[in-house]
Structures are given as structure tokens and as C-alpha cells.
Structure 1
Amino acid sequence: MTKTDDPRAPPSAPAPAVSRPVAITRYLVSDFCADLATYLPPEQIQACYAAYLFGAEAHEGQTRKSGEAYIYHPLAVARILAEMHMDYQCLIAALLHDVIEDTPIGKEQVAALFGEPVAELVDGVTKLTKLDFNSRAEAQAASLQKMLLAMTRDIRVILIKLADRLHNMRTLDAMSPEACRRISRETLDIFAPIANRLGINWIRIELEDLGFAHYWPWRRRVIQRTLQGRSSGTRIEMVALVETALRQALQQEGIAGAVEGRQKHLYGIYRKMRDKSRGFFELADVFAFRVTVDRVDTCYRVLGLVHNLYKPVPGRFKDYIAIPKVNGYQSLHTALIGPQGMQIEIQIRTEDMQRLAESGIAAHWMYKSGVQTSANPASLAADWLQNLLEMQREAGNSVEFLEHVKVDLFPDEVYVFTPKGRILSLKRGATVVDFAYAIHSDVGNTCVAARIDRRMAPLSTPLRNGQTVEIITAPGARPNPGWLNFVVTARARVNIRGHLKSIQQREAQVLGRRLLNAELTALGADIETLEPVRLAAYLEEARLEHLEDLFGEIGLGNRPAPLIARRLISVEPEEAATTGNAHPDVHPHRLAIRGTEGLVVHFAGCCQPIPGDTITAVFSPGRGIVVHRAECRNLASLEGKHEKQLDVEWSLEPEGEFATEIRVEVTNRRGVLAEIARVISELGSNIEHVQTVEKDGVMTDLEFRLLVKSRAHLARIMRRVRLVSFVDRLTRVSRS
């Protein structure tokens, strides 16, 4: 019969944990207090017991899906944290983590009884309970944002939540299949990566395997059967053989060390197969061995020993001791050809590195006497949390913030150096621009060029391990929207978008002023002559604080300038027809397009207008206006929707260069492409892109994307290209 636990009865005097009868299957508060006695003083244990009594009374009558009393869940969560040697405030918060959400107890009552720090922790964890990946994307993102921001205030919030999630995953069988899949997906997407980011390896592995078992049960069974088939009869022998050989090699050299063989966990095998598109038998580290020694220099001695013992696989050595991972993990990794030609992985580390590899940020509480270094998970976690705060400030909304955080939670590192020798860890595939933003947001915003290993390189160049990168900045430079096409780090992306949004807002205000003034002028008025009282009344009605905000809304296409103009001077549509316009949406004062309006005026990719073309424009909410050629077929969908259209014309002196495309049909002869490119270049145009389409082996279409100044400039180019030998036909391309 299972032992019961009376929440009113005081525990017996805490004693060191001893072997208990097999019949005891439920973890009890007396067991909890006994475990705490191994590292906490009696007065703190008593405070934890008082919190247990308070929680048991608050949850009285509540049960879990499994049917057991609810209090056993927070007790199990506290047990997990006790195994991590967390402080007593964290344990009390774990015991009470559901009382604010699931009972009438309020934060103030918790604070009065157990202190403000505990109340803040409980409140922080309570905010995490609204995560639901089956809800709208905005609600999902907002919930995750709350979780991460609570974590930045006190890292113990996420440790409690990880322990809570771990126990929920251990008892997930009581849930419906749909809930199992939803919670498992959430665990694999968010909580396991957070555990990895904080360096808590044992929690990550268990969360991944439990999530894998419930979300992809069939895939897990297939890998497990394959692993058992491969391992039967040989796995135990092979592991024992390698362990014996390693121990003998250490003994011969007089090195004291522990050797342990293991099999990689199933989700780790699956993820590597999926991410690297490899079959099961192509994996090198299904079997791994760990050698733990006392000192760092001994690690490198052992590396030489194992390379003499088994042949190393070229390109598979990684030194995470000299360059730790972003979560503080340190170890030497090498892949070897083991017995029977089977590839194995050997990890070599010190005892301190092993503790940090398993406990991560929790080692801050478990081994407070340890030396704190720049590679310590506690300091690295603090850096990451600071980056989260910066992302939150720069992100436009919760969805964007979620996108950046998900990128940041799945690092596959590349390590590069600054000219002064500082090492920066970036996501694999990171470019020069990512590196610049990793140094500082101001460096990224003003970078114009870079040197990689003292040679000039494009800003889009992907970085490789060991390179030295020097960023060249210019005071007047600003981010290019095109950078978003190749940056991969969340920090770079959020900073670029944030800076571009501020630029776009300023440009939208300038454009909005021009649009509104044009409409007012057509009605015989002007912005400067508007009555302040009427203007203030409209701003209040529109819930805008300043006139610049109104200009920005107009420039971004969120509010129609004609309607606002008529409202500001109290002119009805019928009256507008008698003040100089035959139709309220047809105006003699057209907006002049200069080509330098920036991020609020876009040129349609379908018809690619250039100065000299007859043009019109449409409002695109949130972006501004999009300019089309008047004959563009895509405008047909807007017929009759006058509020979305805008009369525009080219400025008398347009500035800049404009993209357009031409198609040249040529006889397939050597040198014809080079000759056409030479002609285009001589006429002052730049070729952005060229594509060849072979038609029948004799004729080929060459499609050029050019930058030109005007329609006349394009006409000169087309006349000259027609004179090139073997050019049969030439047309301007429109993709509408």
C-alpha cells in the first residue's frame, strides 16, 4: 500500500537520505526535507516545509489529470530544483508556483508570508502559463515574450519553469493525444533549446527524448529498432573493448582519469540525421566516450594518446576548451575509427568542465565556490539576457520578437576574431554584417566595408572559423534594406529592421506632408493656414498626439490624404467638385516622384517604371505608395477603388538609377553575351543580373536587369544593342 503524506503533520527531524523500502513509490515531503538537509541549514528547510503546508492547503480538493492530489506536482518540481541545489527562495517559489493562477491566493499574500523575492518569482512563473502554440500567432508570440522578459528580471524564473515542464513531460501520458502533441511540440521548439542555451544538459536531453517520444513516436521506434539491430551482440562488446583500451592507455602514461562509454540519445540521433541529411549508418557519434581528468593540460595529453590508439577522422576535431560554446560548454571532441571500422566520438574534459556541462547556469548555485570566468554559464547567460532585452526594445511587435528569439535559440557556432584578438561566437552562416552588429549596433549601422584576414571582402561574405575580421565604418552610413536578405543572426536582423523603421517613419512624414498639402492646395487651403483648433480636434478624434504622426500615417498609406484634407477644411465631396476639381479623386496637383523618396515610395517589380513612362500609384498600407506604369495590367484589380489610387508624375529632374529589364534574342554564338555587356557598359548602365534561356540550340534569350536613368537612356541602349551582330530581336520586359 502506498504511503500517504499528511500535510498537517510536521516532518521528522531532517536526516541524510537513506535507502527506502521499494513499496514507497511517491516522493513525500519528508523525503524532500531529507534531501534538503544535504545542503541547506535547518531554518531554511523549515521555511520550505511551511511553504509546502501553505500550498497543500491552497490546492486542497484539486487533482491532476492522473487523479492524484495536485500538491504532488509542485512538490515534484521542487524536488528537481533541489537536485540542482537551488536556493531556498527558489524552492519555496516552486512549491507555490501555481497558487496565484489556480487558487484565490494573490501575490500580496504570498509576499506577506514568504517575502517579496518569492512573490516575484511566483508571479513571474504565473505569467508563463499562457503559452499555447495552437492559438493565434500574435497571442503565442506575446506569451513567449512575457516569459523571456520575466526571465531577464530573475533567471530563477526560467529554472522553475524548466523543472515544471520536465515534470509535466514525465506525466504526459495522462493527457489527450492532441494535448500531448501540442505540449511536446512546444517543448522541442522552446523549452529544450532554452535549457541548452543555459547549459543545463541533463534537462535538455530528457525534455528532448520525452518530446520526441510523444510527438514523433513512430520515428523514435524506427531509430530505436535500428539502433538495437546494429547494437545487438556487438555494442556491449565494442563499448567494453574501447573503454578497456582507453583505461590501459591512461594507466600506461600514469594519468588518473575516468572513462565512460555511452550511446547518443535518440532525439540527438534523429536531429543530426534530419539537419545533416545523413542516414543512420553515416553518423560518427552514435557511440561516444568521455574521458574526465583533473587538469586542462592533461586533456591535451589524452588527446594525443587517443589519436595514437585509434586513427582520427580528418576535419572532425573541435577544441571547445580554447573556444567555449556560447553556453559555456568546454571539452575536446574528436572522431576516431574504432574497432570493426565503426566511427566513435571521444570527449575529453576536466571534472569542473563536466559539472558545468551537466548543470550549466545551475552550477552557479551548486558550486558557488568555483572560479567565475568569462566562459562561465552564469556570465554567458547574463549576456544572452541582455541581448534579449535589446531585441525586445528594437522589435516592432511580439511576432517579430518571437522570430528573432527562435533564431537565437538554435546556435550552430562559427568563431571569428577581431583585429585585437577578441573571439566572437556567431551563428553558422553569419556574414560580415552579422559580425559588425555583434560588436555593437552602432558599428553595424555605419559599416560600409570590411577586411577578412587583411583582404577586402563584400559585406555579404559568410564567415569561417578562425578568420580575423576588421569592420570599416563611415559616419554618414546607414543600414541597407538589402542586408536583410543575407544576415542570419537575430541581433543583426532586429537592429537593421529597427533602424530602417525609424528612417521609414521620417521619410513617411515628409511624403505625408507633401500628399496632404497637395490635396489642401487643390481645395484652396494650406497646412500653414489651417485653424489650430480644428487641427487639434481632428488629431484627438484620430487618436494621434502630433501632426507629424498624422503625416506618417498618410505617408505609409494607412490614411487617405483626400478624405483628411476635406475633413480638415469641412468640405463635403459635392462642394469639392466646385472648388476646382471635376472629381474629388482627380487633382491637377500631382505628386512629383523624384526617385529619392527612400523607403516609402516603391517601384513595382511587375512593370518596373522608369522616368519618362506614364505612371500612376497605389497606396500600400504600412509601406507607403507603389508606383506602376499606367498600362500595367495589375492595376485592373483596383478599378473603381479611387481611395487606393494616387495621381503621380515624374519630377522634371528625377535622380538616381531605376531598374528595368530587356530581353535579347540572339543566335547562339561565342562572344555575343560579352559584346552586348560591353555595349551596355559603354552607355553608362550597370547590369544587375543576366539570365540565359536556351530555346532550340540555335537561338538563345538573354534577359538583362539594368539600371538606367530614364526612358531616353534605355532607348539609346536598345538602339545600340540592336546593332550588335547576331542580335535578332530586342524587347523591354514587363511581368504584369
Structure 2
Amino acid sequence: MIPVEAVTSLMRSYNPRCAVGVIEAAYDYGRRMHEGQFRTSGEPYFTHPVAVAMLLAEQRLDDNTIITALLHDTIEDTGSTYNEIALRFGDEVAQLVDGVTKLTNLELSQVGNAQAENFRKLLMAMSKDLRVLLVKLADRLHNMRTIRHLPPEKQVRKARETMDIFAPLAGRMGMQWMRDELEDISFRILNPEARNSIIRRFLTLRNESGDVIPKITEDIRTVLAGAGVTAEVLGREKKPYSIWRKMEEKKEGFSRLSDIYGFRIVTRSVEECYMALGAVHQRWRAVPGRFKDYISQPKSNGYRSIHTTVSGRDGKRVEVQIRTLEMHAVAESGVAAHWSYRDGERFENPFAVDPFRWLRSLTERFDGAEDSEDFLEHVKLEMFQDQVFCFTPKGEVVKLPRGATPIDFAYAIHTRIGDSCVGAKVDGNRVPLWTKLRNGQSVTIIRAEGQRPQPSWEDMVITGRAKSAIRRSLRGEQRATQVRLGREIARVALERVGKRASDKALEAAAKRLGLEEGDDVLARLGAAEMTGKDLVATLYPELQREPLPAAGDGTAPVVIGLGSGQEARPAPCCNPIPGERIVGIAVRGKGVMIHAIDCEELVAFEEEPDRWIDLRWAEGHSRPDHAVAIEIALANDAGVLGRICTLIGEQHANITDIDFTDRKPDFYRMIVEIEVRDMEHLTHVLTAIDADSDVAQVRRFRRTAAAARGGAAHRGD
């Protein structure tokens, strides 16, 4: 266990006036409260709080943050209380410890609304005192460093939570070193083969060309000395996860990556930063498109640095970052620099952002989220991404996440501008709307009255604001489409029973269903939340109670070959209908499942011949109640969908469900479930639809075995 002297000695190195006595008292109190508790590794539990305190002391943080680290698990895991900590160490420490406890209890790995609500609580805790999050991040880092002692399934869960939440959050806080380590440990657990592959390639590269980092470092020092620039030069290999992520993003192999090596030049002043940049570019050829000036346009988390990539020794491309000492401190510590000490005094780093102002601006941008899901998407898309800075034609700066498009830019200015966007110019040149914007570009949005957001836009944008606005607009248009489709379904369904889909009838159905108006009924029909048969049953339930025709009057038993007392039903994977060759499979507790003879599901029963039952359809069966699905690709033009629904109705087939599987500006693809008599009847329906000039394709749709069990795969006959 790390002794208290190590903690206080490190603190005195940057704050000689630190409260050594209080630190020692917190150390003794925490050790006593955790007495008898052990970690999964078998070590005394208190080794963990001390390690967390040392991590934060290395960031030169204040006394209360270090005390909080020593006590951060006492309220949760021991008999200690908020009041006792407040009495011993003051209200501020008690509040910090309580905040960390609440963060620990948040289930951030949950999904949906629960995760979104916990993110809200996370931001609330951060807004009270950001040091709560700094302690929690250090807590997570030490837990990840010692994660090998946990069961494999728990390691995977913690690693995924770290990769999805804590590592990006550390990066957004400006603590890039912590993000790199958290990602690399998580990468080792989640994808060990990929990580080991990258490490092996690094070793091969070293064997082939030697360790080039010291050589390139010396080259840069020589160039800087010749230019009269006094600076520290640091070189490193990129982390395996960072390299793997670039390989995935750029779809390139390891050998083609340009920046597996990184070098930092730390100068004494901003002027020397630009002198160093000039010296580097004069000595080596700069790689086009790889220059970023975060000194003149800092990131919102306070990060400042010049980034450039050059072709260095032996033609190897290397990334060079140039910054001052103060900028380097912010780059390493992020918002932690706001509480850092130097020589016993709070050091006012001129480049450190005010974390509370940053947090306020963050939460204000989330106020527009309509629900918890929108809020969570805002967090993940905007809080966890690097930013680019683009300009309006008037020279105003617009900050956007990396990978943003002109549509994101338009919505960042105003929702009305985004909704009416029809094109964009970047640096005076017309570009597609899916173009990814880069730092320093000037963007002009081309608008047109009457333009509305397109469904394809949602795949082009990455900001939460743009996605939310597009979805809001599409929901309104989608309801109008659903009402139009529902009106056709209602008309066909009611005409089949000799009734009319009048407004009065629809209002009566809405009343029976507890809905506000008739259009709500139509919207449900169009969205496949209810069927035409449901509508008939709601308005005219007596029609559902009509007796079935007796056997012998043209409607013989459906299948022949069942034993006495056996009941059969169509298998959902193939949904056979009369006219197809069929076979039965006995299923315990479910009777007999009827399969088409070519059903893929039958392969699973090849070794169980005793379960096979020879079946055939009865002759003369004419009731149109056999469900079958058809897949239709049709033009997205006015009236086409209604005409197709009418065609199906004219063939005396009942539409029971419609599901749109693909929506494009020019074509729809949909699955229509209908009821038919037999294969001949189905052929008539398919022929009538195929004859329509606006139908590109129509075929029978059958689910695979996986889809029948709830997957999404399917096949067409």
C-alpha cells in the first residue's frame, strides 16, 4: 500500500503549504473505515482510494480533491456518513464525497431512457462541482488498470462502458492522456486480437528500420536550434487503439497510415510556436490537408496547439504538434488545470477554460432536446467529439463536431435555414450536402422556399440538433402519409363488408378506441399499428361472430393427414398456403407446424424422421383467410400507393399489414401482408400488381428461420 508520506510528499512538491495534517487524518480515517475489506485481487481495499489520490496529486490538484479521493468510497462501502465527514473534514469535502457516491451509483451502461436520465444526473453532479467528475475518472482509471482480477464477463461490461462513456468524457474534459489509456485498456479486453496484431506490426517495423523516434527527435532539435528556437521535443508511438481507429476510419492498412508516430514541440511563447512551424515546414515537405491551427481557433475545452504532418526521415510521415508550456499543461490536464497549483499558489493558466462556463453552455444546448433519447444523442454526438470551426459568409465562426456536413452547419445557424436547405457552397464551390467540413472553410447555404427535410438527411448529419430537427419535421410528414395510407386501408377494409369509411364512422371508431379524432385511427392504420380487420371488428363486431361454413359445402377441412385430436397451424417461417406441397412437424406443446416442402427450417429436423407427418391440402378449400406476405418496390409518386392498395382489394385479397422497409426519394420498398385463398389467388394478385407501370418489382416474401424467431433476415421467392 502506498504510504501517506508518498501522498503528502508529492503534494508538497507543487504546494508547499498543503494541509499535511488534514491529509494524514483523511488517510487514517479512510484506512480505518475500510479495515477488513479486500479487493478482488486480495489486496486491502484502501489501496484503491490511495492510488486514486496519487493519480490526482500527479495532476497537481488542490487539498480537498485529494482528501475526497481518499474518502470517496467511505459513504458507499462503510459505516461512514455525510454528517460525520462534514464534521471531520468540512462541508466542501462532504459534498464532493457525496457527489462521487451518487456518480458511482448511476447505471450509465443502461440503455434508452434510463441511461439518458442518468446522464442528466451526471451533468447535474458535474455542474455543482466538476472535481466530482475528476475523482470519478481517476477512480475508473485505477479500476481499469487492475481489471484483470475481475471475471471475464464483468471485464467486458466495464470495458464497453469505459469505451462508450468515460474515455470520451475524459477526452472532452481535455485529459487526452487519460482517454488514451482508458481506450487502450478497454481495447485490449474488447478486441485483443486486433490490438496484438498492431503491436506485432510495430515490432516488425522496429526490426526493419530500427527505433526511428530518437532519430527524428534529434532531427527536429537540430532544425529548431538552427532557427534559434528554444524548445523541448518529445516523440512517441501512437497507442494501438488510436491506430486501429484511424485504420477503421480511413479503411487503410497499417503500412499506409501516415501518423503512427507523433512528436511535440513545446516552446516558451506563441511567437516561437510559429517560428518552429516555419522551420519544420522549411526542412520537410508538409502533407496537404493535414494542417490545423488550434492556437488561433482553440477547441471549446481549451485545447490549443498547431498540428501538421510532414514527410520526415526516410519519407516517413510524422505528425508534429507545436504548443507553449502553458498550452501543454492544458493539453495534458484539461479542465483539471483550473484547480492546479504551482509553488503553493493556485496557478491561473491563461489557456485553461472556465469549466463552469463550459458546462453551462453545454447544458443550454441540451435544453432543446424533446425527450430523453434526444438528450442522450446530443451528449454522445456533441459532447464526445472533436470540433471543427467553419465560417459564415459574414465571417462568423460556427463550431461543429468533426465529421459535420453543410446540413449540420445550416441547422447550427437556425432550424429554419436547415429545413429550407437545398445546397451548399464551400469556399465558393458547390459541394454535395454529405461533404464533411474541415477547419477554416467558409460555408454558404443555398435555400429554397417550400423545401422540407428529406429522410436521407438523417444519415448525412451527426449533430444532435440537426437530427432532432429533421426527425421532428419527418414525423409531421410521416403522419400525413400515414393518414393518407390509412384512409385507403380503411376504405378497402370497410367496402369488403359493405360499409363506407365515412368521417362519422372513423370518429365512432376513435371514440371506441379512446383516441381523439378519426385521423388518429387512420394514422394507426397507416403505421401498421392496427389492421383493416381490427377496424371492422371495432365498428361492426357482429360481423366477426358470423358462423363458419360447415364442412362439405365447398370448404372441406384445410389439411389432410392429421391424427385424431391433432391440431395444426402454418409455420411463421414459410407461411404455406393451399396449392403448395406441405409437410407437418410435430412440436411438443404446439401441435403440428405446417411447413412448405422447400422451407429452410426443415433442415433442422433431418435427423428426426419420427416428427415428420405427411400432409396435403384438402381439395375445394376456398376461404380467403391464408396469410401471405408480398414485397413491392413502387415509385414514390402521388396516388401510386393508394392505387396499389385498390388493386389488391379488387383482387379480393384483404390487406392486414403494411411495413415500409426502405424509403428513398424516388422509390418505396414495402412488405404487404394479405389474406388469399390459395396459390392461384396469390398469382392473380401478383400479376395485377406487376402490371402497374409504377411498380418496379413484386414478389412473395418469406422470412428465414432467423427472422421468424425475431431477426431481420428474409428471402424472396
Query: TM-score when scaled to structure 1?
Result: 0.64
Name the structure 1 match of 2:91: 115
Correspondent of 1:258 among 219, 232, 239: 232
* Deviation (angstroms), 1:44: 5.5
> What is the CA–CA distance in structure 1 between the aligned matches of 2:37 and 2:227, rounded to whole Å?
61
Q: Which amino acid aligns with 2:272?
A: T
Q: Please say if residues 557 and 620 of structure 1, whose CA atoms lie closer than 8 Å, have aligned partners that are also in contact.
A: yes
* Deviation (angstroms), 1:389: 2.7
Name the structure 1 match of 2:252: 278
Q: Which amino acid aligns with 1:354?
A: H
> Does residue 1:163 correspond to 2:138, yes or no?
yes
Change (3 A) 1:515 1:338: closer
> What is the CA–CA distance in structure 2 between the aligned matches of 1:362 and 1:552, rounded to whole Å?
56
> What is the CA–CA distance in structure 1 between the aligned matches of 2:125 and 2:234, rounded to whole Å?
39
> Does residue 1:65 correspond to 2:33, yes or no?
no
Q: Please say if residues 416 and 464 of structure 1, whose CA atoms lie closer than 8 Å, have aligned partners that are also in contact.
A: yes
C-alpha distance after superposition, 1:322-354 (max 9, x if no partner): 333454332223333333443333322211221
Name the structure 1 match of 2:574: none
* Deviation (angstroms), 1:435: 0.4
What secondary structure is seen at the aligned counterpart in 2 of 1:199? coil
Name the structure 2 match of 1:79: 54
Change (3 A) 1:309 1:610: closer
> What is the CA–CA distance in structure 1 between the aligned matches of 2:194 and 2:431, rounded to whole Å?
44
Q: Please say if residues 366 and 378 of structure 2, whose CA atoms lie closer than 8 Å, have aligned partners that are also in contact.
A: no
Correspondent of 1:635 among 657, 670, 673: 673
What secondary structure is seen at the aligned counterpart in 1 of 2:320? strand
* Deviation (angstroms), 1:247: 3.0
* Deviation (angstroms), 1:280: 3.1
Name the structure 2 match of 1:97: 72
What secondary structure is seen at the aligned counterpart in 2 of 1:416? strand
Percent identity, aligned pairs only, is 37
> What is the CA–CA distance in structure 1 between the aligned matches of 2:198 and 2:696, rounded to whole Å?
56
* Deviation (angstroms), 1:73: 1.4
> What is the CA–CA distance in structure 2 between the aligned matches of 1:633 and 1:256, rounded to whole Å?
70
Name the structure 1 match of 2:154: 179
Correspondent of 1:382 among 353, 356, 359: 359
Correspondent of 2:303 among 329, 332, 352: 329
> Does residue 1:394 correspond to 2:370, yes or no?
yes
* Deviation (angstroms), 1:128: 4.2
C-alpha distance after superposition, 1:538-578 (max 9, x if no partner): 99xx7x9x8899879957665789989999xxx99349999
Change (3 A) 1:371 1:359: closer
* Deviation (angstroms), 1:446: 5.2
Deviates more, 1:69-78 or 1:36-45: 36-45
Q: Which amino acid aligns with 2:145?
A: R
Q: Please say if residues 92 and 118 of structure 1, whose CA atoms lie closer than 8 Å, have aligned partners that are also in contact.
A: no
Q: Please say if residues 209 and 267 of structure 1, whose CA atoms lie closer than 8 Å, have aligned partners that are also in contact.
A: yes
Q: Please say if residues 125 and 160 of structure 1, whose CA atoms lie closer than 8 Å, have aligned partners that are also in contact.
A: no
> What is the CA–CA distance in structure 2 between the aligned matches of 1:506 and 1:369, rounded to whole Å?
60
> What is the CA–CA distance in structure 2 between the aligned matches of 1:168 and 1:558, rounded to whole Å?
47
Name the structure 1 match of 2:565: none
Name the structure 1 match of 2:698: 734
What secondary structure is seen at the aligned counterpart in 1 of 2:441? coil
> What is the CA–CA distance in structure 2 between the aligned matches of 1:61 and 1:464, rounded to whole Å?
56
* Matched ranges for 1:31-70 at <5 A: 31-38=6-13, 46-70=21-45
* Deviation (angstroms), 1:251: 3.1
> What is the CA–CA distance in structure 2 between the aligned matches of 1:387 and 1:493, rounded to whole Å?
17
Name the structure 2 match of 1:573: 541
> What is the CA–CA distance in structure 1 between the aligned matches of 2:489 and 2:671, rounded to whole Å?
25
Deviates more, 1:473-482 or 1:59-68: 473-482
Q: Please say if residues 263 and 320 of structure 2, whose CA atoms lie closer than 8 Å, have aligned partners that are also in contact.
A: yes
* Deviation (angstroms), 1:228: 3.1
What secondary structure is seen at the aligned counterpart in 1 of 2:264? strand
Name the structure 1 match of 2:261: 287
What secondary structure is seen at the aligned counterpart in 2 of 1:394? coil
> What is the CA–CA distance in structure 2 between the aligned matches of 1:491 and 1:35, rounded to whole Å?
45
* Deviation (angstroms), 1:218: 4.0
Name the structure 2 match of 1:12: none
Query: TM-score when scaled to structure 2?
Result: 0.66
What secondary structure is seen at the aligned counterpart in 2 of 1:66? coil
> Does residue 1:424 correspond to 2:398, yes or no?
yes
* Deviation (angstroms), 1:168: 0.4
What secondary structure is seen at the aligned counterpart in 2 of 1:290? strand
* Deviation (angstroms), 1:212: 3.1
Name the structure 1 match of 2:622: none
Change (3 A) 1:443 1:378: farther
Q: Please say if residues 537 and 543 of structure 2, whose CA atoms lie closer than 8 Å, have aligned partners that are also in contact.
A: no
> Does residue 1:352 correspond to 2:390, yes or no?
no
> What is the CA–CA distance in structure 1 between the aligned matches of 2:218 and 2:501, rounded to whole Å?
94
Name the structure 2 match of 1:249: 223
> What is the CA–CA distance in structure 2 between the aligned matches of 1:560 and 1:109, rounded to whole Å?
63
> What is the CA–CA distance in structure 1 between the aligned matches of 2:472 and 2:135, rounded to whole Å?
33
Q: Which amino acid aligns with 1:181?
A: V
Change (3 A) 1:280 1:474: closer
Change (3 A) 1:52 1:288: same
* Matched ranges for 1:586-597 at <5 A: none
Q: Which amino acid aligns with 1:573?
A: P
How many residues are aligned here?
578
* Deviation (angstroms), 1:525: 11
Q: Which amino acid aligns with 2:312?
A: G
* Deviation (angstroms), 1:166: 0.5
Q: Please say if residues 558 and 622 of structure 1, whose CA atoms lie closer than 8 Å, have aligned partners that are also in contact.
A: no
* Matched ranges for 1:97-496 at <5 A: 97-103=72-78, 114-115=90-91, 118-119=94-95, 122-123=98-99, 125-131=101-107, 143=118, 146-148=121-123, 150-152=125-127, 154-232=129-207, 235-236=210-211, 238-325=212-299, 327-366=301-340, 369-370=347-348, 376=353, 378=355, 381-382=358-359, 385-386=362-363, 389-390=366-367, 393-395=369-371, 397=373, 401-403=375-377, 405-408=379-382, 411=385, 414-441=388-415, 443-445=417-419, 447=421, 450-454=424-428, 459-471=433-445, 479-496=453-470
Change (3 A) 1:97 1:321: same
C-alpha distance after superposition, 1:48-72 (max 9, x if no partner): 5555455444433321101222222
Q: Which amino acid aligns with 1:186?
A: E
* Deviation (angstroms), 1:181: 3.1
Deviates more, 1:30-39 or 1:352-361: 30-39
Change (3 A) 1:273 1:387: farther
Q: Which amino acid aligns with 2:170?
A: A
* Deviation (angstroms), 1:529: 11
> What is the CA–CA distance in structure 2 between the aligned matches of 1:513 and 1:102, rounded to whole Å?
61
> What is the CA–CA distance in structure 2 between the aligned matches of 1:108 and 1:639, rounded to whole Å?
73
Name the structure 2 match of 1:590: none
What secondary structure is seen at the aligned counterpart in 2 of 1:68? coil
C-alpha distance after superposition, 1:29-59 (max 9, x if no partner): 3432343345568686555555545544443
Q: Please say if residues 508 and 552 of structure 1, whose CA atoms lie closer than 8 Å, have aligned partners that are also in contact.
A: yes
What secondary structure is seen at the aligned counterpart in 1 of 2:672? helix
Q: Which amino acid aligns with 1:31?
A: A
Deviates more, 1:56-65 or 1:158-167: 56-65
> What is the CA–CA distance in structure 1 between the aligned matches of 2:304 and 2:469, rounded to whole Å?
30
What secondary structure is seen at the aligned counterpart in 2 of 1:470? strand
* Deviation (angstroms), 1:418: 1.1
Q: Please say if residues 658 and 672 of structure 2, whose CA atoms lie closer than 8 Å, have aligned partners that are also in contact.
A: no
> What is the CA–CA distance in structure 1 between the aligned matches of 2:157 and 2:215, rounded to whole Å?
43
Q: Which amino acid aligns with 2:541?
A: P
What secondary structure is seen at the aligned counterpart in 2 of 1:178? helix
C-alpha distance after superposition, 1:232-263 (max 9, x if no partner): 59645x44443334333333333222222333
Q: Which amino acid aligns with 2:267?
A: V
